[in-house]
Amino acid sequence: MIKIVVIGTGNLGTHLCRAFDASGIPESSKADVSEVELVGYYNRSGRPLEFVSAPLIKNLDQLPDADLILLCVPDDQVPAVSSSLSHQNSIIAHTSGSVAMQALSDHENHGVFYIPQSFSKKRSVDFSQLALCLEASDSSTMKILERVASSLSRKRFHLDSLQRRQLHLAAVYVNNFVNHCYTKAETILQEAEIPSGLLQPLMEETLQKALNLGAKNAQTGPALRQDQSTILAHLALLPPSDHPMYKTITQSIQETHAQKL
């Protein structure tokens, strides 16, 4: 049995605690956690998690013995939290996409347990459908991380810090930037008193075409067609503060597809 402590109970930390704790998730969607045991978790607020039977640890100096300590904290807090831990026999692993594994080098056994997904506490997670990206300081540490990862998903990949940083960058494009574009679209529709649901079929079709055809092959629209009259008409509808974003994306599409024009 691999004993695990989770530090940080934000969106990701909360879901990992529930997944590792046998009583933390509904029977119908339970992961195979027979090889792991959540022996405790810590958060700065001191608030216990519902549906998690493992104890809340009130102080980092009082962490129980564990084979793996997972740091589910913001990227800029990883070095400080890591340096505050003195558990020399434990594997210390962070869950960040952009922080190098080297940030944990004060610990002999260290690694990364990164999941390229957007998590929200109020949305359930099926870890079996997610990819887990692992990096480790040595082969024995990797074996432990593999065993922990296999309790959640069969989709496991070994990526070094540079590869993981590039994956995280790509994830920002497909998640954060796209979501911001959705926000802009919602604002336009709300101001025109148009139901936002009118765009849902288009949103779904855009994703399916990108997955089936490849995003570059699926590109359409006035920027691709060099439809300058439509582009100017769009700019006339937008507030000046939104012009740079529209123009930058338009130019990027045109430059990406320059050979087609």
Cβ neighbors of 131 (< 8 A, separation 6 or more) are 115, 116, 153, 155, 156, 157
- Dist CA 232 CA 211 (whole Å): 31
What pLDDT was estimated at residue 218?
Answer: 97
26-42: pLDDT as tens digits:
443 444 556 899 999 99
pLDDT of residue 232: 98
Whether the pLDDT of residue 25 is over 50: the answer is: no
pLDDT level of residue 89 (50, 70, 90 thresholds): confident
User: Quick one: pLDDT at residue 86?
Assistant: 83
Q: Residue 97: CB partners within 8 Å, gap ≥ 6?
A: 114, 116, 164, 165, 167, 168, 171
- Measured distance CA(37)–CA(191) in Å, rounded: 51
Average pLDDT, the chain: 93
Closest CA to 39 of 63, 60, 10: 63
pLDDT of residue 260: 55
Q: Does pLDDT of 2 surpass 90?
A: yes
Instruction: Dump pLDDT digits (tens) for 98-142.
Output: 999 999 999 999 999 999 999 999 999 999 999 999 999 999 999
Which pLDDT does position 22 carry in this prediction?
A: 64
Question: Per-residue confidence at 88, pLDDT binned at 50, 70, 90?
Answer: confident
> Residues of the chain with pLDDT > 90: what percent?
89
Q: Which residues pair with 41 in a beta bridge?
A: 6, 56
Domains of the chain (ranges plus CATH)? 2-159 (3.40.50.720), 164-260 (1.10.1040.20)
Most confident range, picked from 23-32, 77-86, 239-248:
239-248
- What pTM was computed for the model? 0.89
Q: What's the pLDDT at 57?
A: 96
